[in-house]
Structure 1
């Protein structure tokens, strides 16, 4: 059974939780939405190039209201 989650706040902790879901290959967790007050392009840059954990080893892109990580499109509210 898949657990569907939304992550509220894309600060340090929110980005690390999102990163863990994709880096650990957690098929039992589905991220269905993100809530972010800042600009999406800033969040995407910080997600891709973390100063402590290094570069994210996956594909990340965005448009005006969603991000796509490794082919999975996630709406940003």
Structure 2
């Protein structure tokens, strides 16, 4: 579903650039998330990891409301 959304939101003149940026950001998020979660677990324990994860999920949910609405995007 993510790939469909990225292609749908990509500009007509730079689809490969937009998709490349998405995959780069995805990889960076996985790397930083792995390091951050390990550090937080060592410093503050599992409860802090779950709290930070919940905060990031809420932040992502709020940011998703800023995505432009397109009539060509259909529900999957």
Q: Shared fold by TM > 0.5?
A: no
Give 1 or 2 for the bigger CA radius of gyration: 2
Richer in helix (by share): 2
TM-score, length basis structure 1: 0.22
> Which gives a bigger RCO, structure 1 or 2 (Cα 8 Å, sep 6+)?
1
TM-score, length basis structure 2: 0.23
Richer in strand (by share): 1
